[in-house]
Amino acid sequence: MTDATILVIDADESVLSSLGSIMRREFRKVITLQGPERINETFRKNEIDIVLLDMNFRSAIHNGNEGFYWMKEIFRLDRNVSVVIVTATGDASLAARAIKEGAIDYIVRPWEESKLLATVNAAWQLRRSRIETLSLKNDNRALRREINRAGDVIISGASPTMINVMNIVKKVAPTDANVLITGENGTGKELVAREIHRLSARSEELMLTVDMGSITETLFESELFGHAKGAFTDARDERKGKIEQADRGTLFLDEIGNLSLQAQAKLLSVLQNRTIVKVGSNRPVEVDIRLICATNRNLQQMVQDGSFREDLLYRINTILIEVPPLRDRVDDIPVLAGHFLRIDSRRYGKEGLKLSTHALEKLSNYSWPGNVRELQHIIEKAVIMSESSVLKPSDFVFSTLARGGMPADMTLEELEKYHIGNTLKRCSGNISIAAAKLGVTRQTLYNKMSRYNL
């Protein structure tokens, strides 16, 4: 039996019964409507593959205009559905117009069952082809986004701490060992991951990045494992999850510390078995991935608090790479500043811009709480606002600190972000404790952390 859903719409009850009976012998699901009034509702509740559409619903009118109106409505609901028109006459002009406006074919009453089934099966093959093409286009879009991001390169500089990081990267990259990268926000953990991938045997394959802090609990399985067609409302097509998309390549899970215990258990199962099961399916799919994770949290402390699984930590932590904050690699600031200056000068049509000696001194003496990301934004802002060919100390404006260490002149959103970040730091990244101190639920805190990239 063919795994397709057929919708039959005909005003004639006997025709409706006959078509429904024939279709049910060949196709998994058949829905019949004696009139077009419930088309919208039917499409909302079902994934329709093929529509057999009567062209005339009022006995006194046989020009097909009703059928054309409803065919347009059907294509508005799903432009990839296959429509086969049903007519009581062999009017060639009516059939030609229907095909011109998107119908796959037409059948004339009375029909030969073999020809009817051949027509509907051809419509099903076209429907499958359209779905596969659409899925391929979506995969290609995701691939192009990842490839475009791959242009970012890590600038290691000459500081001893970063030299040590890069030595570890070069040693671990040729292996398939799981890597955990730790460090404060903005230190460049993802760039370290990309460098590992670039130097690995998987460099010709995709490195797929997933921000675990931005995926809600309800979407976790669908996003990572994918889902089967019809697994839930609006699951109109089978979809590959992030893990399957990264097959034979590298999967980078950023902010791994944001995973709930339930999600951690599911991820651990994948790492142990190297298989995934899509939502709505029972069939395991083998995957071959190299896993790299990153976090700004103390996972060892989270293990002690009971908010992170110890067995999962062992799985992801074969090799640990700690990326130092920018304040501990001052020697790298001139190199990084020069790199960002060259990029932004080209981007904003101000090539030839230089940093004065005093400007470099100011940059080197700043504490950089936002790390490399903050330096990048400061340089970009200075380039945009510059009015001369040499950037001076006055071109760089940092956030001033009010009493108690809180930045002054902050917006309400900035104050909220600062307060949440400070509370998380005081709670050693424990979500439950931080949420209680802030007076919000865990889910609300997760949402705000995602919003503020904490």
Query: What range defines the domain where residue 218 resides?
Result: 150-322
Tokens of 137: 């286009």
Residues 110 and 170 in one domain: no
- The model's pTM is 0.59
Residues 292 and 332 in one domain: no
- Residues in Cβ contact with 164 at an 8 Å cutoff, skipping those fewer than 6 apart: none
Residues 176 and 299 in one domain: yes
Whether residue 171 lies inside any domain: the answer is yes
Whether residue 143 lies inside any domain: the answer is no
| Torsion 443-444-445-449 (CA) sign | positive
Whether residue 332 lies inside any domain: the answer is yes
Whether residue 145 lies inside any domain: the answer is no
Give the residue carrying structure tokens 């001139």.
Answer: 334
* Tally of domains within the chain: 4
Whether residue 158 lies inside any domain: the answer is yes
Q: What are phi and psi of 253, to 5 degrees?
A: -100, 105
Helix/strand number for the chain, H first, E second:
18, 16
| Domain final residue pick, 299, 322, 345 | 322
pLDDT for the residue numbered 403: 41
Residues 117 and 194 in one domain: no
Query: Which CATH number is 427's domain given?
Result: 1.10.10.60
Tell me: the pLDDT tens digits for 7-48?
999 888 888 999 999 999 989 899 999 888 899 999 988 989
pLDDT for the residue numbered 197: 94
Whether residue 420 lies inside any domain: the answer is yes
The one-digit pLDDT tens for each residue of the chain (454 residues) are 788 899 999 888 888 999 999 999 989 899 999 888 899 999 988 989 999 998 877 654 555 678 888 899 999 998 889 999 888 766 677 778 888 888 988 888 888 898 899 999 999 988 888 877 776 666 655 655 555 454 466 777 778 999 999 999 999 999 999 999 999 989 999 999 999 999 999 988 889 898 887 787 778 888 889 888 776 666 666 778 899 989 999 999 999 998 989 999 999 999 999 999 888 888 888 999 999 999 999 999 999 999 999 999 999 999 999 999 999 999 999 999 999 999 999 999 998 899 999 999 999 999 898 899 999 999 999 999 998 999 999 999 886 544 445 554 556 677 778 888 888 887 878 888 888 778 778 888 887 887 787 8
Give the residue carrying structure tokens 């078509």.
Answer: 19
Residues 249 and 312 in one domain: yes
DSSP state of 404: G
Provide the residue count of the chain: 454
Residues 386 and 415 in one domain: no
pLDDT for the residue numbered 401: 47
Whether residue 354 lies inside any domain: the answer is yes
Residues 287 and 154 in one domain: yes
Q: How far is CA 215 from CA 146, 222, 223, 235, in A?
A: 18, 10, 8, 18
Query: Which CATH number is 71's domain given?
Result: 3.40.50.2300
Query: Which CATH number is 235's domain given?
Result: 3.40.50.300
pLDDT for the residue numbered 322: 95
Residues 68 and 190 in one domain: no
Residues 207 and 317 in one domain: yes
Distance, in Å, from the CA atom of 104 to the CA atom of 81, rounded to the nearest integer, reads 10
For strands 239-240 and 226-227, give the pairing: antiparallel
Whether residue 270 lies inside any domain: the answer is yes
| 270, amino acid identity | V
Tell me: the pLDDT tens digits for 109-148?
888 898 899 999 999 988 888 877 776 666 655 655 555 4
Tokens of 315: 């799985």
For residue 161, which of 361, 330, 406 has the smallest C-alpha distance? 330
| Domain final residue pick, 301, 322, 343 | 322
CB 333 within 8 A of CB 194: no
Residues 290 and 234 in one domain: yes
Tokens of 367: 């504490």
Residues 224 and 306 in one domain: yes
Tokens of 151: 């242009």
Tell me: the pLDDT tens digits for 148-179?
454 466 777 778 999 999 999 999 999 999 99
| Domain final residue pick, 101, 131, 161 | 131
Query: Which CATH number is 348's domain given?
Result: 1.10.8.60
Residues 116 and 193 in one domain: no
